[in-house]
């Protein structure tokens, strides 16, 4: 009978209504998870799973392990946090920014996705995140957000790098250069810690080597069945050598 009822319901209820109802349910679930974060100042592992699930977009979101590391680092963040690629991490950062008083600049290449993320930030009254919409452009051998370094405040010391999405359509060498651009375009000469997601991507080791060769970056990695990311350290050159 339930099957019969379901197919009957499907034939009389417009699919737009069903999608709308699902979206409302997801939004409520996300609001509940964020309320716990607001009240407690951090989410338990179970709370992080709930936030991750409520946000949805599972094919593109970071894993819960990375979300937990982002939460841990944001707990002591000061100044401006730079984020490359927006999503669940942006919303998490937005709540913690309200609590701890830092600001977040989040770069997004996809205008429709930027609108969706901004809409969620507005609905949750998260005013400390600025989503900067910037399409990718070709710079030398890599694709990077079309953004002037001067648009970024000087006090960036934590970077969450989970973007951009560099498609194969850019060609083999640009695709392999992946997220290389974040250091030469925005971080060279700054002292910063960067969480680089997707260390299991075959392009990651080559990029880390280039950052080390070109900018003296050092890194450590987390790579197990729960997730894979790198923590990259950049030190500013000694005074007078800049
Ligand atoms: C890997 S996502 C992750 C963002 C965020 N750190 C998170 O965990 O949710 C990074 C980029 O993928 C793109 N993206 C996100 N969702 C997408 C979707 N459903 N379809 C296509 N691209 C998407 C967006 O441009 C976004 O900046």
pLDDT tens digits for 175-223? Answer: 999 999 999 999 999 999 999 999 999 999 999 999 999 999 999 999 8
**pLDDT of res. 1:** 58
Report the 10 Å Cβ neighbour count for 220.
9
pLDDT tens digits for 22-52? Answer: 888 889 999 999 999 999 999 999 999 999 9
Residue 85 CA to ligand 1 center (angstroms) comes to 6
Beta-strand ranges (E) seen in 14-108 are: 80-84, 103-108
Beta-strand ranges (E) seen in 179-224 are: 192-197, 218-224
Q: What are the tokens at 54?
A: 């409520």
Q: Does the Cβ of 163 fall within 6 Å of ligand 1? A: yes
**pLDDT of res. 4:** 77
CA atoms within 13 A on the CB side of 86: 28
**pLDDT of res. 123:** 97
Averaged pLDDT, 102-130: 98
Paired strand residues for 84: 107, 161
Contact between 177 and 141 (Cβ < 8 Å)? yes
Residue 202 CA to ligand 1 center (angstroms) comes to 19
**pLDDT of res. 222:** 92
The region of weakest confidence among 2-6, 70-74, 76-80 is 2-6
| Radius of gyration in angstroms for the set of CA atoms belonging to the chain, rounded to a whole number | 20
Q: Does the Cβ of 61 fall within 6 Å of ligand 1? A: yes
Task: Report how far residue 86's alpha carbon sits from residue 116's, in angstroms, rounded to the nearest whole number.
Answer: 10
CA 116, 106, 183, 205 torsion-angle sign: negative
Residue 59 CA to ligand 1 center (angstroms) comes to 8
The pTM of the full predicted model, rounded to 2 decimals, is 0.91
Q: Does the Cβ of 113 fall within 6 Å of ligand 1? A: yes
Q: Does the Cβ of 162 fall within 6 Å of ligand 1? A: yes
pLDDT tens digits for 135-145? Answer: 999 999 999 99
């Amino acid at each position: 009978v339930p099957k019969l009822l379901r197919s009957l319901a499907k034939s009389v209820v417009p699919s737009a209504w069903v999608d709308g109802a699902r979206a409302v349910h997801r939004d409520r679930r996300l609001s509940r998870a964020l309320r716990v974060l607001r009240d407690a100042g951090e989410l338990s592992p179970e709370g992080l799973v709930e936030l991750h699930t409520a946000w949805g977009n599972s094919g593109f979101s970071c894993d819960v392990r990375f979300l937990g590391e982002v939460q841990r680092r944001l707990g002591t963040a000061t100044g401006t946090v730079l984020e490359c690629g927006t999503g669940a991490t942006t919303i998490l950062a937005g709540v913690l920014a309200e609590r701890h008083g830092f600001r977040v600049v989040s770069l997004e290449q996809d205008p429709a996705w930027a609108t969706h993320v901004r809409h969620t930030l507005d609905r949750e009254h998260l005013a400390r995140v600025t989503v900067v919409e910037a399409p990718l452009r070709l710079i030398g051998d890599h694709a990077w957000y079309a953004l002037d370094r001067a648009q970024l405040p000087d006090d960036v010391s934590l970077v969450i790098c989970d973007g951009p999405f560099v498609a194969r359509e850019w060609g083999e060498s640009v695709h392999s250069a992946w997220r290389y651009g974040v250091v030469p375009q925005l971080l060279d000469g700054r002292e910063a810690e960067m969480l680089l997601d997707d260390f299991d991507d075959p392009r990651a080791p080559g990029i880390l080597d280039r950052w080390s060769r070109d900018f003296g970056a050092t890194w450590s990695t987390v790579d197990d069945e729960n997730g894979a990311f790198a923590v990259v350290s950049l030190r500013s050159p000694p005074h007078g050598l800049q």
